[in-house]
Structure 1
Amino acid sequence: MAADFSVVLDELNTTLKSIEAVLRIDDMRNEIADLEQQAAAPDLWNDVEAAQALTSRLSYLQGDLRRVEELRSRLDDVALMHEMAEEEGDEATTAETERELASIRTVIDELEVRTLLNGEYDSREALVTIRSEAGGVDAADFAEMLMRMYLRWAERHKYPTEVYDVSYAEEAGIKSATFAVKVPYAYGTLSVEQGTHRLVRISPFDNQGRRQTSFAGVEVLPVVEQTDHVDIPENEIRVDVFRSSGPGGQSVNTTDSAVRMTHIPTGIVVSCQNEKSQIQNRAAALRVLQARLLVVRQQEQKAEMDALKGEGSSWGNQMRSYVLHPYQMVKDLRTEQETGNTAAVLDGEIDAFIESGIRWRRQQETVDAP
């Protein structure tokens, strides 16, 4: 057993060194010191948005650094403890060190996935839009289930979120919703969730209790930053205002504060109704529109590259099935990741699916590389 322990310990040491190299720990420490100095400036909060971005980045880097340093310390400690336990023939402590090593391996595997997020926009915050697709009222209900799943996932990780817009369906559920996940690398992490999700269950809306298949679409966009230069001329935007509405179409606002924004050249339409004022809703809608246009630009560039390489996209659209009847299973159609604990998944326990999706994407990129 000691030989196995040593092999696993060496393997984890090598992986952690690789992670430290990818994360550039010394550069990270320097950036943290610089951000801490900026955060101490007395006029920091004069620009609230910039201050929030700075403190969010600082908090994220400090968390990353703390995780790596704690892992390094735990690896050193467990190696020493195991060696002493072996020398003294202390079987209880030996067993304890083996459990600790297994725990360390889980955390290192999770952190290794984070190092795979090195795409152009992967470090950005995310804008997530969920839309009901085929399946009528069941699809609208499923869209709301997915929205809750992602918001619970964010809550479990203590990631701040902000809901920009919810369009409720007449009978139950939602037609669409857009919300932000405000943490660095949210886009790189959640972008593997993009695509069509499929639900199979006995419909609670069918009085004959028949099985129903319904679909909902998930779109994930990177939040636009000032460096992206997504400038939209005023004459290319049409803005309509209306009253916010709640479930069942009821009005929840007595003033025309909700905003619908149309980008005339592309026909892209976004709306925001969850802020208190029309000005705030307009600003939020503009951020979503800029994110959509950024992705359009990115897709145009990718199409040009694919044309040069003479190949199309390798991404399939339908990416995950949630089966609640006649058996219980959630299965990712790309990675083969699956679980029978459907209740846990729909309550936000989706890390295993996200991590396998990130690894799968990296494999696809390696295969597609020239």
Structure 2
Amino acid sequence: MSAEFEAELKDVAGTLAQIETVLDLDALRADVASLEQEASKPDLWDNPEAAQKITSQLSHKQNELRRVSELRQRVDDLGVLYELAEAEDDTASKAEAEADLAKLRQEIAALEVRTLLSGEYDERNAVVTIRSEAGGVDAADWAEMLLRMYLRWSERHDYPTDVYDISYAEEAGIKSATFKVSAPYVYGTLSVEQGTHRLVRISPFDNQGRRQTSFAHVEVLPEVEEVDHVDIPEKDIRVDVFRSSGPGGQSVNTTDSAVRITHVPTGIVVSCQNEKSQLQNKAAAMKVLQAKLLQRKKEEERAELNALKDGGSSWGNQMRSYVLHPYQMVKDLRTEFEVGNPSSVLDGDIDGFLEAGIRWRKQTENA
């Protein structure tokens, strides 16, 4: 085996060994066995919400275990395959082994990112809110483009999504949208997307064809669970009901089933109109409100901690630029990660940005 190939293979195998240690494969196997036992109970689906959580966790942990095991097998096999190709002086097989090693390095690096998600809420589902900011109708259109980008990203990964509410703008696009993405560790993954996203392009809404800069804000929260104990007294909320509507005011529901909840002490307003039942919409809106209050509590605690530390790291508000004119580029302003194909990014290909963001955050925390 060539010294260069052997050194690279050893490096990749070492990274995988570190991942195996962090994931604790024995504990992972025990979790899978326990969840399989839970999933086989005859009364599992008496509580659909709990059943869905168990089956989702089981599927995720089985896939994670399978993924690590397959990577280990490929690493172990690759050295043998390369030695055979060298012994037979098979140039084509050696080139194939080198290509496989490069692919393995990428896949193991992607798995390594998952081990960096160790925050308190990282393994939860994510509740994402997108709001148009400065830029008028272009900003509303930009907010809708971002909504599509995240829904397409979720679709690429087979992550279920649930759109709670969309507030449509008058001319085009949306004022805001709130949706949930359900998958293990999706909050930790998407949390690096929080901040202001900037778009530069020739405005399709300007009859003089001028360049326009518009902004939209992305907020990412962890879905609340029963253990969070976010107490919201009834006297602190105002509940309004209204008729669900689509773009242009088109009615999509003939009853006042949509719900808007205002948290009076903080002024936080949330709404939900995707369910047919007013009770279901109220329950979904309350979960979003709890997530926002939980995030507010976390921010207050973080601010106090940063004050004690005499400052603290800040991500800054504007975090990514998408330029469609005069050149084509998407660049993250924190990580410096960039690509020259905005169309692919806007179609949901954002994994590179997510991985770079997660690594950057970990480095910032350790600095």
Relative to the length of structure 1, the TM-score reads 0.98
* Cα distance in 2 for residues equivalent to 1:289 and 1:155: 26
1:83 aligns with 2:115: no
1:217-366 mapped onto 2 (5 Å cutoff) = 217-366=217-366
Q: Distance in 2 between matches of 1:200 and 1:17?
A: 44
Work out whether residues 315 and 334 of structure 2, in 8 Å CA contact, stay in contact via their aligned partners in 1: no
Are the equivalent residues in 2 in contact too, given 1:129–1:220 (CA < 8 A)? yes
Aligned residue for 1:144?
144
Please report how far the alpha carbon of residue 316 of structure 1 lies from its aligned counterpart in structure 2 after TM superposition.
0.6
Letter in 1 for 2:363: Q
Partner SS, residue 205 of structure 1 = coil
Q: CA separation in 1, counterparts of 2:138 and 2:248?
A: 15
Q: Distance in 2 between matches of 1:356 and 1:316?
A: 16
Paired position in structure 1 for 2:8: 8
1:59 aligns to what SS in structure 2? Answer: helix
- State the secondary structure of the residue aligned to 2:283: helix
Aligned to 1:49: 49
Question: What's the offset of the Cα at 1:229?
Answer: 1.1
Distance in 1 (CA, whole Å) between partners of 2:217 and 2:268 is: 17
Residue 149 of structure 2 corresponds to residue 156 of structure 1: no
CA drift at 1:313:
4.1
Distance in 2 between residues matched to 1:114 and 1:192, nearest whole Å? 13
Distance 1:222 1:247 in 2: 28
Q: Tell me the amino acid that sits aligned with residue 208 of structure 1.
A: Q
Contact map agreement 1:85 1:94 (CA 8 A) in 2 = yes
Per-residue CA deviation, residues 316-365 of structure 1 (Å, 9 max, x unaligned), is 10000001011111010111111110100000000001100011101110
SS in 1 for 2:253: coil
CA distance in 2, matches of 1:2, 1:319: 43
> What are the superposed Cα offsets for residues 43-70 of structure 1, whole Å, 9 maximum, x if unpaired?
1111111111111111111111111001
Q: Distance in 1 between matches of 2:176 and 2:183?
A: 22
CA offsets 1:96-132 (integer angstroms, 9 cap, x no match): 1111111111100100011100011111110000000
304-313 vs 348-357, which deviates more? 304-313
Are 1:117 and 2:84 counterparts? no
Residue 22 of structure 2: aligned partner? 22
Unaligned runs of 5+ in 1: none
Partner of 2:135: 135
CA contact (8 A) 1:143 1:173 kept: yes
Q: 1:251, CA displacement in angstroms?
A: 2.3
Equivalences, count: 367
- SS of residue in 1 equivalent to 2:177: strand
SS in 2 for 1:315: coil
| Alpha carbons 1:322, 1:329 under 8 Å: kept | yes
**Structure 1: 4+ residue segments shifted above 2 A:** none
SS state at 2:163 partner: strand
Cα pair 1:172 1:248 within 8 Å, conserved: no
Paired with 1:131 and 1:169, the residues of 2 have a C-alpha distance of 11
CA contact (8 A) 1:143 1:175 kept: yes
Corresponding residue of 2:199: 199
CA distance in 1, matches of 2:47, 2:37: 16
| Displacement of 1:286 | 0.7
On the 8 A contact 2:187/2:221 being kept in 1, the answer is yes
Structure 2 residues not aligned, in runs of 5+ = none
| Native 8 Å contact 2:313 2:364 kept in 1 | no
